[in-house]
Amino acid sequence: MFTFQHHVDNAKVLTGIIMPNQTASSQLTGTVSIHVFAITLVSASQTTAHAPVLAVQNVRSTTKFRVLEDGTEAQLIEITIDNIAPSTAGLAAWVTAPVTIALESPNVETVMPATIMRLRGGDQAKVVVGVVNKCAQGEGDRIEGHSKRQAITAGTPSTVTVTLNGTPMSDRAWEIVAGIPDYYVGDESLRTHESAEWFDDAKFGLFVHWGIYSVPAWTISGTQYAEWYWYFQHNPANASSAVWTHHKEVYGEDFFYDDFFPYFTADAFDAEEFVQFVADVGAKYFVITTKHHDGFALFDTGASSNRNSLNYGPKRDLVAEIMLAANNTQPQLHRGLYYSLPEWFNPSNAYNASAPKEPYTGYVEVDDFLQDIMKPQMEALFYNYETDMLWCDVGGDTVLPAIAPDWFNWARSAGRQVVANARCGANYSDFDVSLVDVPGHVRAHASRLRTPKLRKWESSEGSDPYSYGYNQDTPYEDYRNATYILRSLVDIVSKNGNYLIDIGPTANGTIVPPSRSSLLAVGEWLKMSGEAIYGTKYWYVAAEDSDLRFTTKADAFYILSLSYPEGGVISSSLPLPLKQGDKATFLGIDSAEKELDWQWTNDGVFMLYADEDDLKQVEDVWAFRIAYV
């Protein structure tokens, strides 16, 4: 089910909602039906407002937390506040001075209030307030051996009221769960887990597909993923498979996939250089393939298998090198590990129906693929490699629901919040994923969304537009350029997504020149304008206005133009939350201190005037900050 939120101009009377045609065609499933289960409407204020009319739309307790400076773990409570004054009401009906939002409750105490600095009539703000559970008065007296005051148990249902500048907003009490209980096995516990703030704020990640498939690194560009080489070689194993034909011609029929092992050398790979690259391109996290569908692991798989890079190929623990280098030299990066749940041809795996008659080097006889391979391997990624993210692939049979609770509790005890994507085969996930369309692998690319998707999501694609793994058949000029990558990033971020751009290193660990140069150019742009990306929230009213995209922070509004602002002018007819006196600047080279002129015209059009000499020093996307004053 998909929850969809849409802003409606609250100065107008809603008389009807026209739904799309009952059936819509989709490349993925043919025809889909749209069923609407419920619609919630928020009323506008009936009065002619001369002051903001703030109304709480929702209060939701989360399992996210922040560790405060004194070490306190504050639970985050999300509060959605509307200014239900009409959008056409004048400035007097806007919030223009800081409003402090907190919670009052018998069971929780606010330790981290939120501040709203600006809220226009008809607009909405989502804020988080940090709370800790209170101590119950007196009760401790009766419990022998415990301190006099007992904290309210984590997980206690409680009521809260919202206060504005210390005054309760209304008598309305909201239900929350006070405190974050330990996780336990069971969907009702798992489903309370959600995407962490670091992931919401990171916005840009670097994906790496690297393994044995980087040696042959071939398919007809644009037809298949090159990392599926072994699969497409044998499915079908005849002349109708281009990979089968290619393999026969280049390597001969007697050359098995595992014969590629020695050519996966990694001899040009340096983990510190790699994590430096991640930082230089402006990514806040990376996700590296620890084991793809061919079953070859880049980490120490212990007793579960010998099919890994410690025993074959480079004879190195590549994942350990990367995690250590990140920890030592780029500790601000979050570390993600990709893990394919199935192996196509593992002798103990149900997928082996179509297995070619080839060796499965390094296979260790096991009773049960899930218990003896998947479980210990995932646990190694959690506890030995301390991943911040499990980026599963494929889904299907899984052990994650049985082992995730211990992982979450263990990470939390160290103040860390770990996440898992939506391809782990579980009934729970922390965020949705979408992959790029490739013929033969057709999937919805969610960056085509026109409005924000409320559930956190991440879109991934290759810098080779057709493949995640390196493909020798893709000409360098076909690779994604900086313009494309930056505009995709900005578009996705304006709709509440993260963008995970992929590179496919060669067998020796080199990043091919077109990926390297375009990503480094993206990094240069992010150094200059990244504040309009990292840590931002989408704008409730609209994500886009033709080539403009919008992002917000508590103290500023950002406008990003995906095309060159002709004549140096940015204009929009949308009800931007900006008032005279707000300070506009261009986030360009050395221009961030130069204040720009802007105005609302008489017919309500926002016009911003930038210096073209400054604009021309920047390429691809032009970002403006308008700080609330």
Asked whether the beta carbons of 362 and 307 are under 8 A apart, the reply is: yes
The nearer residue to ligand NAG, 94 or 339, going by C-beta atoms, is 339
Tell me the one-letter amino acid at 413: S
If the CB atoms of residues 69 and 188 are measured against ligand NAG, the closer one turns out to be 188
CB 561 within 8 A of CB 572: no
Burial class, 477, CB count within 10 angstroms (exposed 0-12 / middle 13-18 / buried 19+)? exposed
Out of 47, 57, 327, 599, name the contact with ligand NAG by CB under 6 A.
327
Give 23-52 as a DSSP string: EEEETTTEEEE---------PPP-S--SS-
Give the residues across from 552 on adjacent strands. 537, 557
List, in sequence order, every residue forming a beta bridge with 101; answer none if it has no partner.
Answer: 114, 164
Contact (Cβ atoms closer than 8 angstroms) between residue 117 and residue 140: no
In the complex, what is the shortest distance from the CB of residue 320 to ligand NAG, in angstroms, rounded to a whole number?
8
d(Cα 17, Cα 310) in Å, to the nearest integer? Answer: 60
- Asked if 38 touches ligand NAG (CB under 6 A), the answer is no
CB closer to ligand NAG, 4 vs 476: 476
**Site for ligand NAG (CB under 6 A): which residue of 147, 238, 332, 413?**
238
Nearer CB in complex with ligand NAG: 105/330: 330
Which listed range, 237-245, 249-257, 372-380, 602-610, lies at the site for ligand NAG (CB under 6 A)?
237-245
The CB-of-424 to ligand NAG minimum distance in angstroms stands at: 9
The distance of closest approach from Cβ of residue 416 to ligand NAG in the complex, given in angstroms and rounded to an integer, is: 10
389, 334 Cβ separation under 8 angstroms:
yes
Size of interface with ligand NAG, in residues (CB under 6 A): 26
Nearer to ligand NAG, 29 or 240 (CB): 240
CB of 406 to ligand NAG, least distance (A): 15
Integer Cα distance of 24 and 450 in angstroms: 16
Place of tokens 């398919």: 219
Sequence-distant (6+) residues with CB within 8 A of 514 are 463, 476, 477, 479, 481
Give dist(CA 559, CA 536) in Å, integer: 12
Query: Helix (H, G, I), strand (E, B), or coil: what is residue 374?
Result: helix
**Residue 350 binding ligand NAG, by CB under 6 A:** yes
Work out whether 250 is an interface residue with ligand NAG (CB under 6 A): no
Per-residue binding string, ligand NAG, 276-315, x by CB under 6 A, is: ----------------------------------------
Task: Work out whether 481 is an interface residue with ligand NAG (CB under 6 A).
Answer: yes
- Name which position in 105, 398, 463, 496 contacts ligand NAG (CB under 6 A): 398
Nearer to ligand NAG, 21 or 27 (CB): 21
Of 163 and 508, which has the nearer Cβ to ligand NAG? 508
Nearest to 63 by CA among 174, 161, 181, 152: 181
CA distance 137 to 277: 54
Residues 187-216, mask of contacts with ligand NAG (x by CB under 6 A):
x-----------------------------
| Residue of 40, 147, 167, 240 that binds ligand NAG (CB under 6 A) | 240
* DSSP H/E element including 108: strand 108-112
Q: Please give the residues from 407 up to 446 whose contact with ligand NAG meets the rule CB under 6 A.
A: 425-427
Helix (H, G, I), strand (E, B) or coil at 232: helix
Would you count residue 236 as binding ligand NAG (CB under 6 A)? Answer: yes
Site string for ligand NAG, 494-533 (x = CB under 6 A): ------------x-x-x-----------------------
Residue in the structure block whose two tokens are 């016009």? 607
Q: Give the residues lining the site for ligand NAG (CB under 6 A).
A: 21, 187, 236, 238-240, 268, 323-324, 327, 347, 350, 352, 385-386, 398, 401, 425-427, 481, 483-484, 506, 508, 510
